[in-house]
Amino acid sequence: MKEKTILKLKLNSDPRWADLASKNLEEILVDHAYCEQKAASTGISLIVHYPEKERLVDELTALVAEEWEHFDRVVKELRKRNLPLGRPRRDEYVVQLMAHVRKGGSRERQLMDQLLVSSLIEARSCERFKLLWLHLQDRDPELSQFYYELMASEAGHFVSYVDLAKEYCDPATVDARLQELLKIEGEIVVSLPVRDDRMH
């Protein structure tokens, strides 16, 4: 998968991250579990705030179910390793990205920003899952396969969020805003320290 063309990311992750993360799987799995929980919660929140948008409700209902299934799978991976779920952590990457959802204006513009930010989180998760898939092939083949399976799902979520934005807003406006947010996302990734205990 060529992240820069398929997922549109402006910048790939620091290659040091995968090596560090693959050596600290307890923390990575805990953080990953909460990333899936938050992704499901985001989908539910969008459904609650935009119940009149039928395609959004239908597609995000399916997406939420998939994200929760992923949460369950990550918890099972923790259990297999006799590791506790632990406490949720602050995701500075998501916090900084969400700060660029514009307040005010039309509901459609707010929805567009929320959908596009969600799409970028899914894209970055997909890229990180690919790195773990590759780095764990020799060290933990079973977990490597697990991340391979989830990688494709996250790519699909990226596409779904962008398509929904274009359903409810002018596609040219969506494309322009996506480019703006992609640039911002890359700047956030560069600014954050490389940590072995965070998925993002």
C-beta atoms surrounding 48 within 10 Å: 9
Query: Quick check: helix, strand or coil at residue 97?
Result: helix
Q: What is the pLDDT of residue 8?
A: 78
Of 7, 12, 9, 71, nearest to 39 by C-alpha is 71
Q: All domains of the chain, ordered by start, with CATH?
A: 19-87+102-191 (1.20.1260.10)
Contact present, 20 and 196 (Cβ < 8 Å): yes
Q: What is the pLDDT of residue 104?
A: 86
Element (H, E) at 163: helix 141-168
Contact yes or no for 35/68 (Cβ under 8 A): no
CA nearest neighbour of 68 among 116, 96, 119, 33:
33
Task: Retrieve residue 137's tokens.
Answer: 């092939």
What average pLDDT does the structure give for the chain? 93
Residue 128 tokens read as: 């990180």
Cβ atoms of 120 and 162 closer than 8 Å = no
| pLDDT tens digits along 118-147 | 999 999 999 999 999 999 998 899 999 999
Q: What is the pLDDT of residues 37-66, one digit of tens each?
A: 999 999 999 999 999 999 999 999 999 999
Q: Which residues contact 151 (CB under 8 A, 6 or more apart)?
A: 1, 126, 129, 130, 133
Q: What interhelical angle do 171-191 and 107-135 show, nearest 10?
A: 50
Q: Which of 85, 55, 67, 84 is nearest to 166 (CA)?
A: 55
Question: Which residue has better confidence, 1 or 91?
Answer: 91
